[in-house]
Amino acid sequence: MAHLAGALACLAGAPACLTGAPAGLAGARAAPGSEPSPPEERDAAMPEVSYRTVEVGGHAVFYREAGPRDAPVLLLLHGFPSSSRMYEPLLRRMAGSYRLIAPDFIGFGHSAAPDPEAFAYTFDHLAEVLDGFTATLGLRRYSLFLQDYGGPLGFRLALAHPERVEALVIQNAVAHEDGLGPLWDKRRAFWADRKTHEAALRENFLSLAATRQRHLGSDPDPTAYDPDLWTDEFAFLSRPGQDRIQTELFYDYRTNVASYPAWQAWLRRHKPPLLVLWGRYDPSFQAAEAEAYRRDVPDAEVHILDAGHFALDVKAREIAALVGAFLPRRAGAAPRKE
């Protein structure tokens, strides 16, 4: 019954669950002089997150938002097959000083997922919708936090509107061939001969096993990962039409690889304040990619973390601290003072 009570408390938003307290410790007796605050005080101190939807080009775009509207903006772009939900740990930790905005891309999470016959699932098209989203919200200046698929979309935004970008935070997002490991050999074969390789790609790329492995990678401590991370993602992947949507979009991923030289040239030309956070246990993207960014931006700040592809799974507190220290120091994005 104690376990059930603890689970219900987490579902209700108990602070111990939201701040990453180890399982089983939320109900432990506090040391003398360190008793927890009353519930009403904890609720007052916890940043509020809003869950909104706007229409962009006739399509519903869902997004999460937290923080003061007059604070510096941190635009958070998620990876595959995740959604804005992956950024909940940052929304809770950084909203006191920054305005954090995390949209779901078209075809992901709670945003619209039109049939591929009616909507072209390409990175160019998703970036066009994302650009419209920033215009709808009136975002004229922002720092970009890019993870996985968020990288190609964020670089497209940056190339289109370099004047808007205050800083880049890269978390396991690739812009050099250095980052593409052996797993990409089969994916390149799919791009070269889609008809021959599509069935095998769908079976592996969209499977529950692959969804789980993206999170765990080669991490020696799989007990640190909440299984809901991949079971929830797999539930979204299992919705009708998702196999076609994600296959179409991944087929277009080849255009990202072809765009690497242009993205590198942009980095070399603009030299934006750049923070690279890299989960060393990523099964898909190689850690060598983290240092590759220094070829373009020599003063980039690089941190290799004991984490996987989705580093926020296990390093949310550390990432929030690194980003919170970097932005005011390097980007001039001073946190809002209360």
Q: pLDDT at residue 47 above 80?
A: no
Nearest Cα residue to 173 out of 210, 145, 213: 145
Catalytic-role residue among 78, 176, 215, 309: 309
**What band does 335 get if pLDDT is binned at 50, 70 and 90?**
low
* 3-state SS string for 244-263: HHHHHHHHCCHHHHHHHHHH
Q: What is the pTM of this model?
A: 0.85
309 labelled catalytic: yes
The label of the residue with tokens 């190689």 reads 286
Q: Indicate if the pLDDT at residue 27 is higher than 70.
A: no
Q: How high is the pLDDT of residue 23?
A: 37
Full 3-state SS string of the chain = CHHHHHHHHHHCCCHHHHCCCCCCCCCCCCCCCCCCCCHHHHHHHCCCEEEEEEEECCEEEEEEEECCCCCCEEEEECCCCCCHHHHHHHHHHHCCCCEEEEECCCCCCCCCCCCCCCCCCCHHHHHHHHHHHHHHCCCCCEEEEEECCHHHHHHHHHHHCHHHEEEEEEECCCCCHHHECCCHHHHHHHHHCHHHHHHHHHHHHCCHHHHHHHHHCCCCCHHHCCCHHHHHHHHHHCCCCHHHHHHHHHHCCHHHHHHHHHHHHHHHHHCCCEEEEEECCCCCECCHHHHHHHHHCCCCEEEEECCCCCCHHHHHHHHHHHHHHHHHHHHCCCCCCC
Note the pLDDT of residue 203: 84
pLDDT tens-digit readout, 242-272: 999 999 999 999 999 999 999 999 999 999 9
* pLDDT tens by residue, 79-111: 999 999 999 999 999 999 999 999 999 999 999
Task: Classify the C-alpha dihedral 192-194-200-201 as positive or negative.
Answer: positive
The dihedral of CA 179, 217, 305, 98: what is its sign? Answer: positive
The confidence score (pLDDT) of residue 78 equals: 98
Q: Is the pLDDT of residue 30 over 60?
A: no
Average pLDDT of span 232-236: 96
Percent of the chain topping pLDDT 70: 84
The mean pLDDT value for 272-281 works out to 98
* pLDDT band (50, 70, 90) for residue 274: very high
Residue of 137 and 181 predicted with greater confidence: 137
Q: What is the pLDDT of residue 33?
A: 40
Cα–Cα distance, 138 to 190 (Å, whole number): 39
> Mind listing the pLDDT tens digit for each residue in 60-80?
999 999 999 999 999 999 999
Mean pLDDT of all residues in 166-184:
96
pLDDT, residue 333, reads 61
pLDDT in tens, 287-321: 999 999 999 999 999 999 999 999 999 999 999 99
What band does 337 get if pLDDT is binned at 50, 70 and 90? Answer: low
Whole-number pLDDT of residue 45: 60
Does the pLDDT value for residue 18 go beyond 70?
no
Chain CA centroid to CA 108, Å: 12
Higher pLDDT pick, 36 / 147: 147
